[in-house]
Amino acid sequence: MSKEKNKKFYFPIHLDAGNRGCEAIARGTIEILGIPSKNYIGFSREIENDIITGIETDISYINNKCTFLKNILIKVINKLKINNKEKYVYYLRYSSFLKAIKKGDICFITGGDMLCYGNNQLNFIVNYLHRKSITTILWGCSFGEENYTSEKYKALLECSLITARESLTYEYMKEKLHLNNVLLYPDPAFVLKPEFNELPSYFEKNCVGINLSNFVSEGINATSLFEENVINLMKYILSETAMNIVFIPHVFWKEQDDRKTCMYFKDKFKDSNRIQILDTYRMNYCQIRYAISKCRFFLGARTHAMISAYSVCIPSIALGYSIKSKGIAKDLNMPDYTVIDYRTLRESDELLCKFKKLQTNEINIRKTLEVEMQKYINSAYEVKANVDEITS
């Protein structure tokens, strides 16, 4: 990688560490690439969230909040009936940050699963940077056929380099989209190590760690088949095992706060003293990983919570809803039953049945992860040579 002192590395979709997955990607990238902290510049909507985790010591920030006037303009634009109004909103939110990026700088488009949703700021940012001839790397992404739009395809073509974080995305991009600028490497968060911190006494017994989000619970106030599955699993753990249940929130953004979903399910069992919600708000990603490492089993909706469980070899079930969950599990040689798509549930005991399989095969799954993990983590570091080549 060039040692030119003026070269900067920009992360416009860092967003902020209110989602510990954003923090994990930032920390993992710094670890892999060895970017000096003063050269790492991120966009943060709420820098207070980054300060809580300590990641702000490694990142400089530009335009972390919109001005009052910009926020008013965004509200007005959102109410207008005009075509492509989103691009005007994105321009107002990101223009100051993007204008700071100069030719010769490197822009990492993080976010992991941004391509798994509708057209969003990723398209706008890549298009903008391409017009400025900025080296743009789509970093650790997931993307499947069900996510395809012509706008996303255009952005993919405009990226200088793409790294897919699992083989299903890689194969789709290579074989179906015929992209020549894509490589396969693990998510950068895999390289991080657990950070010791004092945990509550309930971790001293066997625990089942559970991470839930409103993405898989279809709205926490609505009765759903997924809700029935979670409740039936909890009933089984409480009545047929001696294990505690520990909910482990991973995202704290107002519109996606895991704590609300966790509290909803905890309140279904108010009389039980074996269900807890770990207070992770003041914990950084690596400290949360340490807590997950103390669980006997884990079930996770958030991808980076699952990455923590895999990395410390905990038998786990991914409550997945996109290609990323299936792809990562496949690459780690996990059995098919360790990934559940809430959208395909047909019975109220499917999660329970698969958890029982996880129990039965606990030792074998742990051994498989122990065999795969160090090799897998080592391969994540190999991407540095490709980045060095494209940025030198």
Read off the pLDDT of each residue in 352-361 and give the average, rounded to a whole number: 98
pLDDT of residue 37: 76
Read off the pLDDT of each residue in 21-39 and give the average, rounded to a whole number: 91
For residue 227, give the nearest of 236, 238, 235, 218 by alpha carbon: 218
H or E stretch covering 32: helix 20-33
Tell me the longest C-alpha to C-alpha distance in the chain.
62
For residue 229, give the nearest of 361, 343, 359 by alpha carbon: 343
For residue 11, give the nearest of 101, 123, 132 by alpha carbon: 101
pTM of the model: 0.94
Mean pLDDT, the chain, as a whole number? 92
The answer to whether residue 352 scores a pLDDT higher than 60 is yes
DSSP one-letter code for 173: I
pLDDT of residue 24: 98
| Alpha-carbon span 131 to 119, nearest angstrom | 19
- For the ranges 55-64, 117-126, 137-146, 251-260, the lowest mean pLDDT is seen at 55-64
Q: In the structure encoding, which two tokens stand for residue 129, read together? A: 């940077």
Judge residue 82's burial from the number of C-beta atoms within 10 Å of its C-beta, 0-12 exposed, 13-18 middle, 19 or more buried.
exposed
| Alpha-carbon span 360 to 315, nearest angstrom | 11
Read off the pLDDT of each residue in 122-140 and give the average, rounded to a whole number: 96
pLDDT of residue 217: 53
pLDDT of residue 223: 55
State the pLDDT confidence band at 230, using cuts at 50, 70 and 90. Answer: very high
Read off the pLDDT of each residue in 327-342 and give the average, rounded to a whole number: 95
pLDDT of residue 39: 87
pLDDT of residue 2: 46
| Alpha-carbon span 251 to 41, nearest angstrom | 22
H or E stretch covering 351: helix 350-360
* Domains annotated on the chain, with CATH: 9-189+380-391 (3.40.50), 201-360 (3.40.50.2000)
Please say whether the beta carbons of 287 and 247 come within 8 A.
Answer: no
- For the ranges 17-26, 75-84, 159-168, 252-261, the lowest mean pLDDT is seen at 75-84
Positions of E strands within the chain: 9-15, 40-44, 60-61, 106-109, 135-141, 161-164, 182-184, 207-211, 244-247, 275-277, 297-300, 316-318
H or E stretch covering 234: helix 225-240
pLDDT of residue 81: 81
For tokens 């954003």, name the residue.
22
pLDDT of residue 63: 64
The answer to whether residue 323 scores a pLDDT higher than 80 is yes
Q: In the structure encoding, which two tokens stand for residue 137, read together? A: 């790397």
Read off the pLDDT of each residue in 325-346 and give the average, rounded to a whole number: 94
pLDDT of residue 334: 97
Judge residue 279's burial from the number of C-beta atoms within 10 Å of its C-beta, 0-12 exposed, 13-18 middle, 19 or more buried.
exposed
For residue 338, give the nearest of 368, 370, 307, 365 by alpha carbon: 365
| Alpha-carbon span 111 to 123, nearest angstrom | 13
- For the ranges 110-114, 161-165, 259-263, 337-341, the lowest mean pLDDT is seen at 110-114
- What is the length of the chain? 392
pLDDT of residue 4: 46
Neighbours of 1 (CB within 10 A): 17
| Alpha-carbon span 321 to 343, nearest angstrom | 7
pLDDT of residue 342: 84
Read off the pLDDT of each residue in 176-204 and give the average, rounded to a whole number: 97
Alpha carbon distances (Å) from 313 to 144, 243, 272, 290, 316: 27, 19, 29, 12, 9
pLDDT of 31-89, one tens digit each?
Answer: 999 887 778 999 998 999 999 999 999 999 876 677 778 888 888 988 888 888 888 88
| Alpha-carbon span 112 to 167, nearest angstrom | 14
Read off the pLDDT of each residue in 193-210 and give the average, rounded to a whole number: 95
